[in-house]
Structure 1
Amino acid sequence: MLNGTETKGWTSSPDTRGTSDILVTCLVTTFLCCWTAVYPNIPGPKEGFWAIFRDKVGLASLGILGPDFLIVLAAGQRSSARRSFRKFKEHGHNDWTITHSFFADMGGFVLEAPGHQQPIPLDAEQLFYLIKHNYVEYPSVTKRELDDRDKSDGLSRLIAVCQATWFIVSLIARDIQGLAITTIELTTLSFVVILFGTSWCWKDKPSCVETTIVLKATVHIDEIIESGGPEAAGPYYHTPLDFISRHDTALNVVWQYYNELLRKIAFSPFTRRVHSRPWNRVPGDMFQWMDLDLALVAGAFIVAFASVFFIAWNSEFPTRFEQLAWRAASIYMMTYGVVGCLWMGVWDWIVLPQKRLAEGHEMSLLERARLPCPGQFLGGMFLLRNKALYREPTFQHIEDESTQQHSLPHQPTILPSFVNRARRFLSETHNISPDKDPHLNTPIGFLLGTTVLCVFYVVFRMYILVEDFVGLRSLPSNAYDTVDWLSFIPHI
């Protein structure tokens, strides 16, 4: 404890707020923020309440351990829903709403087609493609009918918003009156920031929906696949309609890699693996491409989330080490938010698309529609240079080892050989998905860079959560004083 500071240990609450009051208020607010703000996708046809509960626990766990990831997930889902909403509107379906798009993206519409026994879950892009080509009829479901399927508890949402708002007002009042704010209250405030962000992104998404709407195809499944060209003729890893859309963002690729790694070690607390082929449901933890404006919104919430921890920069801590560690964690939370966004943006828009092109990766219609972007614009020179740099040398037939050195074409060496080997190694991909899905090929360089960023994130994030409780052992005495609300009311 710094010199000259009066401190107290555990304090009961006869006339002031006690340690238990601080804990209960923060834990209840955190629970409400992380539980009511998440919206899982529709479970499989033979799954029910426990599947939805498990999916919601997974998203809530993500909200506790990595709230900034949750806002990116929500912003990506809203971007996807908004893009398909515009396509339906442009095609003349004026009764289509963004709620319809959310419902489709969460697996609300399934396709039954001749020649395929198992119903196929559709996302909004796939549904639009089928309607546009007259393979299925436009679903006549209204927004009111979708709202009837929404089992979310409006009262719990209202309670969460009211509690979060009151919590913010209380902290502002404490700051105005010069009362100490504990670190656990600041961490709770960071959850509140993410709550408002995800609530806005998911405000049109139905919650706790258990049933789907079946659409019957008017043609054989083979005819639908043949219309997709050579890209649709290859093997699929999700459904036969993979050629229409897949959401293989850089973040989603590395996210699925880490989840599979956790499953091999123990288990993944965030997601359930889909075991059936084709898929019988759409997982709710797939990170999708964000539109620029929503990416900026998500970035603003991430910066606001990280900024909360700086409020305790000059606060009193039990020890000097804890204060310095908190400052280091605050700096890294902000650094991770900014650098992480730039890192993922570079891989999403420039490096990963060009690497897939160089490797002859079969892209879905959705991916090809995204190609006129900065990555593709800059990619002509990058792609040519990439192919020239990593072209394997051609070996000629040789009779003995003595002539081997003359069998390789001579190429001028610009960089030292070890640098070339390092670059070649970093450009290679690693894949630990159960079915070796080539869409989940993870470049080693991308994996290593992301792992370094995430390891430090986990360390500092865990320190913040531990310090929130450990720091309660010794707080400034005015941390237990309550706000004098009468001082804010004009009176004589």
Structure 2
Amino acid sequence: MNSVTSLPSDGTVSDLQTGWVSQPDSRGTMGILWSCSSTLFICVWVMLHLNIPARDESFITVTIRKTKWFVMSLLAPELVMLFAGGQWAAACRSVKDMKESGIKDWTMEHAFYAESGGFELHTADMAPFPVTARQLLYLIERGYVSRPHITRAEIWDKSKADRFVKVLAAVQSAWFTLEVIARAAQKLAVTLLELSTLCLMTCTAATLYFWFYKPLDVKTPNTLNSKVTMAEILLRAGEAGKAPYKDTPLDFVEPLDYTSTQFPLNRIWGERRRPLPRIPNDRDSLLHSWNVVVAVSIPTAAFGTLQLIAWNFEFPTRDEQLLWRWTTVANDIVLGTGCALEAAAIIASNYTLSGLRTFNDYKLRWPWSLTFLVPGVLYFVARTITIAEVMISLRALPSTCFQTVKWTSFIPHFS
């Protein structure tokens, strides 16, 4: 039983309250910011699996690259998910090709390790460079290199994945999702920041699924010693080997097309050394089957649909509400167009990788490049406006945003 002692105000006892006192049944703006930012940070931190850096890259260079991709994951999570989906597609294709060639113990871990630059080719007449899984298979089948013997356990031993952090991220994500659902169930307002965090978590979960078998933070690749010179490899390749290469001498086997060299605005991020000392993280892997396109499209659609939930949210002004509606619809149209173009590429290529590469080359030529460049610019503008609206909406929120969930109402009980 609570008791309050009432004595003259000039004493030290009069203002003391004894007994159990519950916490205030409310939350503040800082609490909302902290909840969302901590959830975003841990989810993106766990999700991000970058490719293996070049041997001679400094700690500062690697840190800057990680920071760039961390920020990109926050601002455009669906694009990072698209890159992850492409890598997953390449890994699936690698496992299939290796098994067809008689290498039965080649797993998704091996495929991802190769696709992230885990095998570096050394020849007597060329600077070392990483090879993709398809290029590796080409070299093995022709006897230029011995098959690398590295087990799944050895690959995971090189990985820096922390299971405790992953469990912590899963618990935090589950709690945050449950909190948002509970607020909606009790008719309490959800902020745009919370909804946007939930949207990003959808893309993060899909990205983590695509990168589930990819090793994390591997520092150095395995050396792959060639039995012949690069000049001999190119000579035996015939006409294909005579073509000038853009990234590595094995471009004729599989090119390393990546986004930062496809559009002038991104070239500051592109690697200028040739042959490439590492496989870029933004490699434009081909989505070569319907299964892959569907796997990427579902979380993309979920991301856009969740944003539309805020259609009738309370905004500080009517103009801001209309602007949110227009930008979210524009985002959905652009993302839907991207999925449709990938589907069209599969149909136009007659379901072959060579056909997809031809389609990929055409989309970089005028005027076809406008088909991809214009939606990209529209997406960037719409996404920027959306993020700005999320932040400025915090200046004026509905009063129910600051009420906390009454969890006891979800527990069956007599009253």
Question: Which category describes the TM-score, using the shorter chain as reference length?
Answer: 0.7 to 0.9
Q: 1:107 and 2:114 equivalent?
A: no
In the aligned structure 2, how far is the partner of 1:241 from the partner of 1:201?
Answer: 26
Quote the sequence identity (%): 34
Confirm or deny that 1:119 pairs with 2:123: no
Which deviations, in whole Å up to 9, do the C-alpha atoms of 1:114-162 show, x marking residues without a partner?
333x212111011111111111111111110110100133322222222
- Pairing 1:257–2:266 present: no
| Counterpart for residue 270 of structure 2 | 273
In structure 2, C-alpha distance between the alignment counterparts of 1:303 and 1:316, rounded to whole Å: 24
Q: How does 1:219-258 map to 2 (within 5 A)?
A: 219-248=228-257, 252=258, 256-258=261-263
Change in CA separation of 1:257 and 1:115 when aligned onto 2, cut-off 3 Å = closer
TM score, norm. by length of structure 1: 0.75
Distance 2:275 2:355 in 1: 31
Alpha-carbon offset, residue 480 of structure 1: 0.8
Shift of 1:247: 4.4
Shift of 1:65: 2.1
Alignment deviations for residues 57-95 of structure 1 (CA, whole Å, 9 cap, x no partner): 222222222221111111100010111111112222222
**Separation in 2, partners of 1:344, 1:89:** 27
Contact 1:35 1:56 in 2 (8 A): no
- For structure 2, the 5+ residue unaligned runs are 1-22
Query: Shift of the alpha carbon at 1:347?
Result: 5.5
Mean Cα deviation higher: 179-188 or 338-347: 338-347
Distance 1:342 1:173 in 2: 35
CA contact (8 A) 1:110 1:215 kept: yes
- 1:167 is matched with which residue: 176, 179, 184? 176
- Secondary structure of 2:385's partner? helix
Structure 1's unaligned 5+ residue stretches are 1-12, 355-367, 380-437
Indicate if the aligned counterparts of 1:72 and 1:287 stay in contact, CA closer than 8 A: no
2:50 aligned with 1:40 = yes
Q: CA deviation at 1:15?
A: 3.5
Distance 2:46 2:172 in 1: 12
Matches within 5 A, 1:409-488: 442-488=364-410
State the aligned residue count.
391
State how far apart, in whole Å, the 1-side matches of 2:299 and 2:363 are.
30
Counterpart of 2:101? Answer: 91
Contact 1:34–1:191 (CA<8 Å) still a contact in 2? no
Instruction: Report if aligned partners of 1:40, 1:55 keep a CA contact under 8 Å in 2.
Output: no
In structure 2, distance between residues paired with 1:40 and 1:53: 11
Q: CA RMSD in A?
A: 2.4
1:189 has 2:198 as partner: yes
- Three-state SS of the structure 2 residue aligned to 1:119 is strand
Check the 8 A contact 1:39/1:56 in 2, yes or no: no
Q: Displacement, 1:299?
A: 0.5
- In 1, the alpha carbon distance for the partners of 2:223 and 2:362 equals 30
- SS of 2:114 mapped into structure 1: helix
Distance 1:36 1:76 in 2: 19
Quote the Cα distance in structure 2 between the aligned partners of 1:19 and 1:314: 21
Q: Which residue in the other structure is 2:226 paired with?
A: 217
Asked if structure 2 preserves the Cα contact closer than 8 Å seen for 1:79 and 1:289, the reply is yes
Instruction: Give the Cα separation in 2 of the matches to 1:55 and 1:297.
Output: 27
- Hey, what does 1:306 align to over in structure 2? 304
CA distance in 1, matches of 2:362, 2:368: 12
Q: Are 2:71 and 1:61 aligned?
A: yes
Quick one: structure 1 residues 446 and 87, their matched pair in 2 at CA, closer, same or farther if it must change by over 3 Å?
same
Task: Give the alignment's TM-score, normalised by structure 2.
Answer: 0.88
Aligned position for 2:340: 342
- TM-superposed CA distance for 1:464, in Å, is 1.4
Cα offsets for 1:192-225 (capped at 9, x unmatched): 0011100000000011111111111122222211
Equivalent in the alignment of 2:286 = 289
